[in-house]
Amino acid sequence: MMDSSWTNQSPSLSLNLSVGPPRSPDQVPRIALLKRSLACGTQVGAIEAKLNQISEENKRLAEMVSDMHMNYSVLRGRLFDLASIAPQEKGSVSPKRKRVDGASCKYQTKHGEVPMPKTSKMYVRIDPTDSSLVVKDGYQWRKYGQKVTRDNPFPRAYFRCSFAPSCPVKKKVQKSAEDGSLLLATYEGEHNHERSSRDKVHSVSDHSAAAVLPCPSIDAEHTSQPYDLDEAELPKLQRLLVEQMATALTNDRSFTAAIATAIYERMLRSPPA
DNA sequence: CGAGTTTGACCCGCGC
DNA sequence: GCGCGGGTCAAACTCG
């Protein structure tokens, strides 16, 4: 259902930072020609100095990207370390649904032993001032309870799927204790119906400032499987990484200038058909 | 008026 | 046995 590829793939960091398009053999004479034509003037030296400066910057940027890639690898390693040392159930299972046998993935109710419902988690970025605890996921939900839990100052809301009366799916929604702009939605069970067409259209995109962040290894996996990370850790790691890269790149004016120059030159040399 | 939300009470398992 | 805490119930309330 969710894409778990985020952590499985290294983002491509092989950014081509050369100014202008890659030089093909037939472009070298063009550069020579350009130089010759400019030789009439007194700007050749200045242009060469500028080119040297740009290559220096390119070199620096390449090192920066390499550093970031290394940091990414370190963080990624730490992520998987956390995944491997915290495989046991951390979240409390409802007492009424206490597991009888962890291996058999069953829990006991007053009606007997039934299969453990699949649980998945999803993180949603929201406006920190938004206390509605609404996650637009394409299904219709009816709230049936709200509680303040011990380990989190934010209330936890309980929802049941109201689209189909027989649908067994439940959802718990709570703001992250560390980050009030992050909602954690925990789904229990599987829908036995399609999404409502109305919500299909408005799913995710119409929520004010909300962005669903399918939690990579947690979300695709189920909590009964090995990747049961501390829910606070994973989004923090992801966010840290993305913010680090974005900050480093956007704060470096020479990088943005080089990108702009490269794009400009590329567009000049290969105009859209 | 019906559907959905709020909220205090209640249930039940766990740990001490 | 008792208190704690998470989950659920259901009456009261709100809103369209």
What is the pLDDT at residue A184? 86
Using a 7 Å CB cut-off, which residues contact strand B?
A 95-96, 98, 110, 140-147, 157, 162
For strand B, the positions having any atom within 7 A of a protein Cβ are 4-9, 12-14
Q: Are A162 and A243 in contact (CB under 8 A)?
A: no
For strand C, the positions having any atom within 7 A of a protein Cβ are 4-10
What is the pLDDT at residue A93? 36
Please state, rounded to an integer, the average pLDDT across all residues of chain A.
59
For residues A159 and A16, the model is more confident at A159
For residues A218 and A149, the model is more confident at A149
Q: pLDDT tens, A61-103? A: 777 766 665 555 555 545 544 443 333 333 333 333 333 333 3
SS3 A18: coil
What is the pLDDT at residue A164? 72
Spatial distance from the CA of A86 to the C1' of B13 (Å) = 24
Distances (CA, A) of A84 to A6, A67, A79: 18, 26, 9
Taking the C-alpha atoms of residue A141 and residue A159, their distance in angstroms, rounded to an integer, is 6
Taking the C-alpha atoms of residue A105 and residue A91, their distance in angstroms, rounded to an integer, is 15
Largest distance between two CA atoms of chain A: 94
For residues A161 and A37, the model is more confident at A161
Spatial distance from the CA of A161 to the C1' of B5 (Å) = 15
Query: Concatenated DSSP letters for A23-85?
Result: PPTTHHHHHHHHHHHHHTTT-HHHHHHHHHHHHHHHHHHHHHHHHHHHHHHHHHHHHHHHHHH
A157, A162, A167, A171 alpha-carbon torsion, rounded to 10°: -20
Spatial distance from the CA of A215 to the C1' of B12 (Å) = 32
Kindly state the helix (H) or strand (E) to which residue A267 belongs, with its residue range. Answer: helix A253-269
What's the DSSP call for residue A95? G
For residues A31 and A203, the model is more confident at A31
Taking the C-alpha atoms of residue A249 and residue A17, their distance in angstroms, rounded to an integer, is 12
How would residue A2 be classed by pLDDT, with cut points 50, 70 and 90? very low
SS3 A149: coil
What is the pLDDT at residue A109? 38
What is the pLDDT at residue A119? 76
Q: What is the mean pLDDT of residues A214-243?
A: 46
What would the two tokens of residue A203 be? 């799913």
Spatial distance from the CA of A216 to the C1' of C5 (Å) = 30
Spatial distance from the CA of A94 to the C1' of B13 (Å) = 9
Spatial distance from the CA of A21 to the C1' of C14 (Å) = 63
> How many beta carbons lie within 10 A of that of residue A165, not counting itself?
7
pLDDT at A105 over 50: no
Q: pLDDT tens, A119-164? A: 778 888 777 777 777 777 778 888 999 988 888 888 899 998 887 7
Which residue type sits at A237?
A: L
Q: Which nucleotide is closest to A158, CA to C1'?
A: C7
Q: What is the mean pLDDT of residues A39-43?
A: 54
What is the pLDDT at residue A45? 76
The whole-model pTM stands at 0.47
For residues A255 and A18, the model is more confident at A255
Which CA-bearing residue is nearest the C1' of B14?
A: A95
Q: Which nucleotide is closest to A172, CA to C1'?
A: C7
What is the pLDDT at residue A221? 36
